[in-house]
């Protein structure tokens, strides 16, 4: 069973439109795909239509930006959500609505260090104007020749502590999980290895808070995880009785190490989250 339950389209910061993404997933042997754009569900209708044409199983998904303790941003994926659910749609619209102001503040900070017109530049890369984010700024700086690749742009300008980083209030954990569950979905902690700001004790606390809120799953296999991290989070999932997810977090060939559908399989002794997806 080749399930890929985390990837992005042009509706957020992916490179392929939803239909093209589905065709790539099918060509790569994916049996079950979830499209999980950041804070946005407007790609799932096209994705579902293409999936039906290809005969590929598809579930609607979303990756919600969440502010957790000490101004740490974490990502919560929702799988199998009803893309028409009014409370979920309203919540996501509220989260998206902060992005424009954040982008302006980022551009102001970048201007202070002499990088002018970054907002106009970033806008050219944001196919969905409501979803402007750091990846679009990064692509602008690569295209303008300032930096060789997006990773280097993040390292120099966009990561926490760098000149273009501004702190921002996203959704809170409880409401993000509630929106997902209220829409009939399963909440998943995305790429847990990426939360470098959380100590191991703080990560345990996040898992506890997440489960108290009604969260049920964690990404054990993720594009960003090393083999060691896969085993670490497999152990955590078994210990806490969390369902295990698998997702490439594919954005596009230019930026992703792991292609859609090309993650390693889940380690043994786990309950795959897709056993609960119809
Ligand atoms: P935002 O939601 O605007 O904060 O943007 C987060 C997105 O930026 C992530 O989903 C990735 O697509 C991208 N991103 C974050 N860190 C990096 C990095 N170090 N290198 C490349 N892309 C990154
Ligand atoms: Mn992204
Ligand atoms: Mn993420
Ligand atoms: Mn993602």
**CB distance 150 to ligand 1 below 6 Å:** yes
Q: How far apart are the C-alpha atoms of 186 and 213, rounded to whole Å? A: 12
How many domains does the chain divide into? Answer: 2
Note the pLDDT tens digit of each residue in 240-272: 999 999 999 999 999 999 999 999 999 999 999
Tell whether the model's pLDDT for residue 150 goes beyond 90: yes
Gap from CA of 14 to ligand 1 centroid (Å):
11
pLDDT at site 186: 99
Q: Where is 60: in which H helix or E strand?
A: strand 57-68
Q: Flag whether 134 is in a domain.
A: yes
- Same structural domain, 178 and 199: yes
Residue nearest to atom 20 of ligand 1 (CA): 151
- Identify the CATH number of the domain in which residue 74 sits: 3.20.20.140
Sign of the CA dihedral running 5, 91, 20, 126: negative
Tell whether the model's pLDDT for residue 107 goes beyond 90: yes
pLDDT at site 251: 98
Q: Flag whether 163 is in a domain.
A: no
Query: What CA–CA distances, in Å, run from 204 to 201, 209, 221, 239?
Result: 5, 9, 18, 11
Best mutation site among 13, 40, 137, 171 for ligand 1 pocket (most ligand atoms within 8 Å of CB):
13
- Same structural domain, 255 and 210: yes
Give the pairing of strands 186-189 and 72-79. Answer: antiparallel
**CB distance 134 to ligand 1 below 6 Å:** yes
Residue 16: helix, strand or coil by DSSP?
coil
Gap from CA of 202 to ligand 2 centroid (Å):
24
Q: The tokens of 105 are what? A: 């503040």
Q: Flag whether 112 is in a domain.
A: yes
Gap from CA of 155 to ligand 1 centroid (Å):
11
pLDDT at site 133: 98
- Same structural domain, 65 and 195: yes
Q: How far apart are the C-alpha atoms of 220 and 247, rounded to whole Å? A: 9
Q: Are 5 and 32 in contact (CB under 8 A)?
A: yes
Gap from CA of 125 to ligand 3 centroid (Å):
19
pLDDT at site 137: 98
Q: Flag whether 164 is in a domain.
A: no
Supply the range of the domain harboring residue 124: 101-158
- Identify the CATH number of the domain in which residue 130 sits: 1.10.150.650
pLDDT at site 278: 82
224: pLDDT confidence band, cut at 50, 70 and 90?
Answer: very high
Tell whether the model's pLDDT for residue 53 goes beyond 90: yes
Mean pLDDT for 30-42 is: 98
Tell whether the model's pLDDT for residue 27 goes beyond 90: yes
Mean pLDDT for 3-17 is: 98
Q: Flag whether 249 is in a domain.
A: yes
pLDDT at site 140: 98
**What whole-number percentage of the chain has pLDDT above 70?**
100
Mean pLDDT of the chain: 98
**CB distance 140 to ligand 1 below 6 Å:** no
CA-closest candidate to residue 14, choices 218, 261, 259: 259
- Same structural domain, 188 and 262: yes
- Same structural domain, 229 and 258: yes
**What whole-number percentage of the chain has pLDDT above 90?**
100
pLDDT at site 21: 99
Gap from CA of 111 to ligand 2 centroid (Å):
24
Q: Which ligand is nearest to the CA of 247?
A: 4
pTM: 0.98
């Amino acid at each position: 069973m080749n399930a890929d339950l985390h990837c992005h389209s042009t509706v957020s910061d992916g490179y392929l439109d939803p239909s093209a993404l589905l065709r790539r997933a099918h060509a790569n042997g994916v049996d079950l795909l979830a499209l999980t754009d950041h804070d946005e569900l407007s790609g799932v209708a096209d994705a579902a239509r293409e999936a039906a044409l290809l005969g590929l199983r598809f579930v609607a998904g979303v990756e919600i930006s969440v502010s957790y303790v000490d101004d740490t941003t974490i990502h919560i994926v929702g799988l199998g959500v009803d893309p028409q659910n009014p409370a979920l749609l309203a919540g996501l619209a509220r989260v998206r609505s902060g992005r424009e102001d954040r982008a302006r503040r980022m551009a102001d900070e970048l201007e202070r260090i002499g990088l002018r017109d970054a907002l106009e530049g970033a806008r050219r890369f944001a196919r969905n104007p409501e979803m402007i984010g750091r990846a679009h700024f990064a692509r602008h700086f690569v295209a303008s020749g300032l930096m060789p690749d997006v990773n280097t742009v993040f390292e120099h300008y966009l990561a926490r502590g760098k000149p273009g980083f501004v702190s921002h209030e996203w959704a809170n954990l409880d409401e993000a999980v509630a929106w997902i569950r209220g829409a009939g979905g399963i909440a998943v902690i995305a790429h847990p290895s990426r939360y470098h700001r959380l100590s191991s004790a703080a990560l345990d606390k996040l898992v506890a808070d997440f489960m108290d809120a009604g969260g049920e799953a964690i990404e054990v296999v993720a594009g960003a995880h090393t083999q060691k991290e896969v085993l670490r989070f497999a152990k955590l999932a078994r210990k806490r009785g969390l369902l295990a997810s698998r997702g490439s977090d594919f954005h596009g060939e230019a930026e992703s190490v792991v292609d859609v559908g090309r993650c390693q399989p889940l380690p043994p002794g786990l309950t795959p989250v897709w056993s609960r997806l119809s």
